[in-house]
Amino acid sequence: MEAASIAHPVAHGDDHHGPPPANSSSRAEPQLLGMLLFIISEVMVFGAFFTAYFFIRVAQGDAWPAPGTTLPVEVAGVNTAILVSSSMTMHWAQTSIKNGNRFGLKAGMLTTFLLGCTFLFIQINEYANIGFAPQDGAQQTVFYSLTGLHGAHVFIGLLLLLFVTIRSFRGHYSPEEHRGVEVPGIYWHFVDIMWIVVYTTVYIV
């Protein structure tokens, strides 16, 4: 009887209603984990196109690039340097906000966005002057598929960078609250790494 009387007020003192809170024992935050899972899925998408590329070059033994076509290796090399530089400025922005340097955050984000736009502009100009179309052959289709898929990821990344840049200039981030910079930054670094793989495979090898 005494035990029941002790338990009774405890039950009434519990104001929690509904299901219990989610287990948050995982060390990875939901936003970070979601981005990492998304990147893994995108690696698989790129892997499918690379499979087609290696099938043409290895299994069929076709010439790359196709006879009568040339790839602008030097222009793509400059574009690679631009994108790698944008990854460095993105890292600068991330490090700056962690240290409370708002100028570094704003300058880094704006520079990263402009470098990304430059990369995409050069790639579009490359398409306009390359001299062949996707429907001209299997090699041309794979070339446009791989570089175009990456270009689409750059475009999505630029939208994220634009959003983060605007928020940076409005003072929305701090050393304590900077996940909104870090997560898009991870995506942008992924875009840069994938381009290095695409450039090395398609233009160099």
CB 157 within 8 A of CB 184: yes
Identify the pLDDT of residue 13: 47
Which CATH number fits the domain 46-62+70-204, given the four candidates 3.30.70.270, 1.20.120.80, 2.60.40.10, 1.10.10.10? 1.20.120.80
Report how many helices (DSSP H) and strands (DSSP E) the chain contains, helices first.
6, 0
Residue 184: closest CA among 82, 104, 116: 116
pTM of the model: 0.82
CB 119 within 8 A of CB 83: yes
Does 147 have pLDDT greater than 80? yes
Identify the pLDDT of residue 74: 95
**Residue-wise pLDDT tens digits, 31-59:** 888 888 989 999 999 999 999 999 988 88
Does 26 have pLDDT greater than 80? no
Residue 121: closest CA among 154, 87, 159, 161: 154
Does 7 have pLDDT greater than 90? no
User: What are the domain boundaries of the chain?
Assistant: 46-62+70-204
Mean pLDDT of the chain: 87
DSSP string of 116-165, one letter each residue: HHHHHHHHHHHHHHSS--GGG-HHHHHHHHHHHHHHHHHHHHHHHHHHHH
